[in-house]
């Protein structure tokens, strides 16, 4: 009788020292990172990838900022060190909007992330995992860290900063915090400030992870494979993914069809349930629950107007040529939030991508995104 071996998921899907490096490069901040919420984070390391070469005048640098469960691997195949293919690969390459023959593209892994930069799954200076001790890092804090990276790379001014979802929050913070260092700004499917509804979506996800016995208060990194907070993280991802897609797409793609070979009347699943299960389970092998919690809290803390006299005053101080792009069917960050950004920034422009894919349209509608980015880069 034959048997099939079952591979248990690792306690965390984080990249760790000793794993294949892939295309990553690193920089370590020379001093502790002072945090907006108080205190500081020592020994901060940023992982990043680059494409192209910085021009002698430094005028061709583009910063690409990833969403919550993204990483440095914007383009390229799945390979040792990179468990999934590039998440926005159609934007970078010969003849594409960000052609490395012309542009120097930089993509850092966010502080608090789990794919090479310092986060909860990293080792702290005392030799133990950061775990529950890892502090709140806000989008503004990530900008402070990434300015050090820009300085180290010789980038005095970004020709463009672009990001979607959490990356869009960070991109907007770049333009508000360092207005003289951002020439162009492209914000996709992101708000100027996280709303009560968005925080509520996040609260349910955080509760799912924290209710998992494997969470252990955030200090689970020494647990055996298969015993981490996998159930909670998978449920959180199911919730999040539901907010990323539109009711129209779910209805037309799945309807009320049962999953093949299963009967919902006798313990089986509907096809849409199987779809959410797939996305929940897939995340376990490439992401970390601790980072999911901290980055969700980062998004909840997003408010470009905090300490700047409000959102209106903060947007009025942005000097970048700004394009705010919304997705017509986005129910997580509705189009009116991008319209408000464009209206608040002097000379800002708003565009809407007509898409049935909901929030994830900023990733899926790559041809339109590439065209809009190309137009912005030509201005």
Active-site annotation, residues: 165, 330, 359
Which residues are within 8 A (CB) of 193 and not within 5 positions of it... i.e. 6 or more apart? 302, 303, 304, 305, 311
Residue 74 near residue 89, CB atoms below 8 Å: yes
Q: Count CA atoms within 13 Å of residue 182 on its CB side.
A: 28
Residue in the structure block whose two tokens are 């591979």: 7
Strand pairing report for 45-51 and 25-28? antiparallel
Which residues are within 8 A (CB) of 17 and not within 5 positions of it... i.e. 6 or more apart? 123
Residue 239 near residue 201, CB atoms below 8 Å: yes
Q: Give the integer Cα–Cα distance in Å for 209 and 202.
A: 11
Vertex 365: Cα angle to 116 and 106 (nearest 5): 30
**Segment (H or E) for 321:** strand 321-327
Alpha-carbon distances of 140 from 37, 199, 298, 336, 339, rounded to whole Å: 10, 18, 10, 23, 22
Q: Count CA atoms within 13 Å of residue 206 on its CB side.
A: 16
236: tokens are: 């959180």
Cβ neighbourhood burial of 2 (10 Å; 0-12, 13-18, 19+): exposed
**Closest C-alpha to 44, from 131, 132, 141, 140:** 141
Residue 376 near residue 349, CB atoms below 8 Å: no
Phi then psi for residue 323, to 5 deg, are -125, 115
Q: Give the integer Cα–Cα distance in Å for 73 and 166.
A: 16
């Amino acid at each position: 009788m034959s048997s099939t071996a079952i591979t248990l998921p690792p306690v965390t899907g984080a990249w760790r020292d000793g794993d294949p490096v892939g295309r990553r490069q690193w920089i370590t901040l020379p001093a502790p990172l002072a945090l907006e919420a108080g205190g500081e984070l020592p020994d901060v390391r940023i992982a990043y990838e680059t494409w192209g070469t910085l021009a002698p005048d430094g005028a061709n640098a583009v910063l690409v900022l990833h969403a919550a469960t993204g990483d440095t691997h914007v383009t390229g195949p799945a390979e040792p060190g990179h468990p999934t293919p590039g998440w926005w690969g159609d934007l970078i390459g010969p003849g594409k909007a960000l052609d490395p023959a012309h542009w120097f593209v930089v993509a850092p892994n966010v502080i608090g992330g789990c794919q090479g930069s310092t986060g909860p799954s990293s080792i702290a200076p005392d030799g133990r995992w950061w775990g529950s001790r890892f502090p709140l890092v806000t989008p503004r804090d990530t900008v402070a860290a990434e300015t050090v990276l820009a300085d180290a790379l010789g980038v005095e001014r970004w020709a463009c900063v672009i990001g979607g979802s959490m990356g869009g929050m960070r991109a907007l913070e770049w333009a508000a915090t360092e207005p003289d260092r951002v020439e162009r700004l492209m914000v996709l499917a992101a708000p100027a400030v996280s709303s009560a509804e968005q925080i509520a979506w996040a609260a349910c996800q955080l509760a799912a992870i924290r209710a998992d016995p494997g969470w252990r208060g955030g200090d689970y990194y020494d647990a055996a494979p298969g015993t981490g907070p996998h159930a909670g993280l998978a449920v959180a991802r199911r919730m999040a993914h539901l907010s990323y897609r539109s009711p129209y797409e779910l209805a037309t793609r799945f309807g009320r069809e049962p999953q093949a070979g299963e009967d919902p009347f006798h313990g089986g699943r509907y096809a849409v349930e199987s779809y959410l299960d797939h996305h929940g389970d897939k995340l376990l092998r490439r992401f970390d629950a601790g980072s999911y919690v901290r980055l969700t809290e980062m998004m909840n803390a997003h408010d470009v107007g905090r300490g700047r006299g409000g959102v209106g005053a903060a947007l009025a101080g942005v000097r970048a040529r700004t394009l705010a792009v919304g997705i017509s069917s986005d129910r997580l960050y509705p189009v009116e939030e991008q319209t408000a950004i464009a209206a608040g920034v002097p000379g800002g422009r708003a565009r809407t991508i007509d898409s049935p894919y909901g929030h994830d349209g900023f990733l899926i509608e790559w041809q339109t995104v590439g065209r809009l980015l190309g137009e912005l880069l030509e201005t």
